[in-house]
Amino acid sequence: MAQSFLYLRYILFAVAVRAQTEWPCPATDDIDPCICTFSDDTYLDLDCSNISNDTQLLTVFQAEFPFSKIRNFTIIGSASTPVNIKHFNADVFGNIYFENIYIQYTTLSTMDGDPFNRSQSTLQKVHITDNLLTTYPFDTLQSYTLLTDLRLNDNNLTHMADIISPTLRHLDVSQNPVLRYGNEVFYDIPDLRTLRMRFDGLTNIAKNSFRYLTKLTTLDLTGNSVHILWNGSFWFESSLLRYVYINTNILDTIEVDAIKFCNASTDPNTCDPLEGAKSPIFHMRNNLLTDLPSNVWEDIFNLPSAVSSTNTSFDFIGNPITCGCNIAWIVTNDNYFERVEPASTCENGDTFEELDPNFFEANCNVW
């Protein structure tokens, strides 16, 4: 009898110790192989990187969580050993809600509806990168009142619905080579600062595509297949734009009025000059440009640089530019010439820093 009583006391003590060491996390056995940690006397984090399959993930979130809010939810594998999850049901996370989600190097490919909908008032960052994801509920972003950072690069996304978000600041959908979307996809993201669409198979930039991103600082379209900038392709209302990357495309034509900085207007077909506009650094390396016509570029060359640390605003390295009298308007103007990256290339292999302004003045009609 005494032994039984002592054993019972031991069991109760063990349970109490377990509760003390695991609280405020769920019981370890109930969420295994996920790991819950309690940090800064405030936050719960949950790492499910050792999860084996979709069923096991469902079981974890059926456990009893003393508190429903998770700061950082993580599933991260490696390029050589991705985590074997494939699908998120709409209710996979039960009543749990998150502040930040990091999912990388898994086999996740599909979602039902919006599996994060219980996090609409808390979610700040979503990084689902280097997976096999084909769908994402872009049409629900308006409901996420704190979301600032959405990164879905290196997936297999096929469609991006028009985005409405008053809070989103950073969007990366790079390396989704079959991604498709409408011309107005970015019309209603007024706080967006960085937009990255690298290696997305992009072939066309419609008029006003980025115009209404009035706080945009960085636009990165590297590694696509754009061959022409149409009139209006690069119309911007942002006075904060610092960097435009369109490196490694097949760009060979830039129409007159393709690049302009516009005052806010209700008429999408007009572009009155933006007061206080400055020129970002245009990175146009490794394209097929053969000419830099003054009627395309001179208005932009006349703008002050938006980046105070450098006066270089135009990088044409790796383009086969014909370096004859067609570019004398640049070479013979000291202010213009110093704005061009010195290593920008001519079709004969010379660089701009090798060009002699005096020769151009003597042999070209320069007014």
For 10-46, what is each residue's pLDDT tens digit? 333 333 334 334 889 999 999 999 999 998 778 999 9
Q: Where do you find CATH 3.80.10.10 in the chain?
A: 23-166, 193-367
pLDDT for residue 16: 33
Q: Would you state the structure tokens that stand for residue 135, as one six-digit string?
A: 């769908």
Nearest one of 37, 128, 135 to 77, comparing CA atoms: 128
Instruction: Give the pLDDT of residue 1.
Output: 44
Architecture, CATH, for domain 193-367: Alpha-Beta Horseshoe (3.80)
Q: What is the pLDDT of residue 23?
A: 84
Low-confidence ranges of the chain (pLDDT < 50): 1-21
What CATH number does the domain located at 23-166 have? Answer: 3.80.10.10
Strands (E) across 281-363 are located at: 281-283, 314-315
Token pair listed for 178 = 């079959």
C-alpha 131/C-alpha 233 separation (Å) is 31
DSSP string, 69-99: EEEEEEEE--SSS-B---EE-TTTTTT-EEE
Per-residue pLDDT at 14: 36
pLDDT at residue 274, as a whole number: 96
User: The tokens 């405030």 sit on which residue?
Assistant: 42
Pairing between β-strand 43-47 and β-strand 35-39 as defined by DSSP bridges: antiparallel
Q: Are 171 and 194 in contact (CB under 8 A)?
A: yes
pLDDT single digits (tens) 131-160: 999 999 999 999 999 999 999 999 999 999
* Cα→Cα distances 186→13, 77, 179, Å: 59, 32, 14
User: In this predicted structure, what is the pLDDT of residue 367?
Assistant: 63
| Residue where the block lists tokens 């790079």 | 174
Q: Which residues pair with 156 in a beta bridge?
A: none
Within 10 angstroms of residue 33's Cβ, the number of other Cβ atoms is 13
What is the C-alpha to C-alpha distance for residues 103 and 83, in angstroms, rounded to an integer? 10
Distance CA 322, CA 253 (A): 14
Is the Cα dihedral 15, 21, 24, 26 positive or negative?
negative
